[in-house]
Amino acid sequence: MSRKLTLDDIADLRAYERERNDFRSRVIEVKRRRRVAVGTILTMVFENRETVRLQIQEMARVERILSDEGIQTELDIYNSLIPEPGHLCATLFIELTSEDQMREWLPRLVGIERSFSLRLADGTMVRCRPEAQHEAQLTREEVTAAVHYLTWDFTPEQVSAAMAGPMTLVCDHPAYLEEVPLAGETVRELTGDLAA
């Protein structure tokens, strides 16, 4: 069964207002377990069906998207961030708060969207790839974007290795070398995504 969202999964604005506070609180807790700080300026959020639904609902609310066609456009854009079994998807945020930081870091981090791997319990490294639909819009040669969408494709053997123990997120970009052991609750979230 596909995990992708359909029009039926997106509440109209009035219905969403009624559920918004409870739904947002629930998904904020989900995101907390799925958020990984990578050094001082990068944050990765591993996406799932709930986090993407929140993104679409909030986009529809802010932009007052009322038509099925408008919602379908958002579904077409964001459904690629919902992982199917054997895959993980994440949004990478480069969190810079000043113009000076942006001028310093965005040129230095060109290629960051190809610089992440997950090290599994058996030492296997699973390398990310940029999500194709977004890569065409975000990738430049002289400066990187502040947001990237990443995907990991696991073989059945790699899924088994992921289920067996800890995972470490590794960034091997020459200007930003970092390794982050994932918290147990994050690993549980991700292995849930990988499971069929």
List, for residues 68-96, the tens digit of each pLDDT value: 999 999 999 899 999 999 999 999 999 99
Residue 118 CA: distances (Å) to CA of 7, 33, 53:
33, 17, 25
**Confidence check: pLDDT of 1 > 60:** no
167, pLDDT greater than 80? yes
> Which positions ≥6 away from 101 have C-beta within 8 Å?
41
Q: How confident is the model at residue 136 (pLDDT cuts 50, 70, 90)?
A: low
> Which amino acid is located at 91 in the chain?
T
Here the tokens at position 100 are 């000076």
What was the pLDDT predicted at 159?
A: 96
Tokens 């052991």 found at: 181
Tell me which of 1-5, 46-50, 145-149 is least confident.
1-5
Give residue 21's pLDDT band: very low, low, confident or very high (50, 70, 90). Answer: very high
Instruction: Find, among 103, 100, 90, 99, the residue nearest to 42 by Cα.
Output: 90
User: Hey, what are 12's tokens?
Assistant: 């109209």
- 3 state SS for 35-89: EEEECCCEEEEECCHHHHHHHHHHHHHHHCCCCHHHHHHHHHHHHHHCCCCCEEE
Helices (H), the chain: 13-34, 49-63, 68-78, 99-108, 132-138, 156-163, 184-194
Give the model's pLDDT for residue 66.
86
| Residue found by looking up tokens 């199917």 in the block | 84
Stretch 107-123: mean pLDDT, rounded? 95
What per-residue confidence (pLDDT) applies to 95? 95
135 pLDDT band, cuts 50/70/90, is low
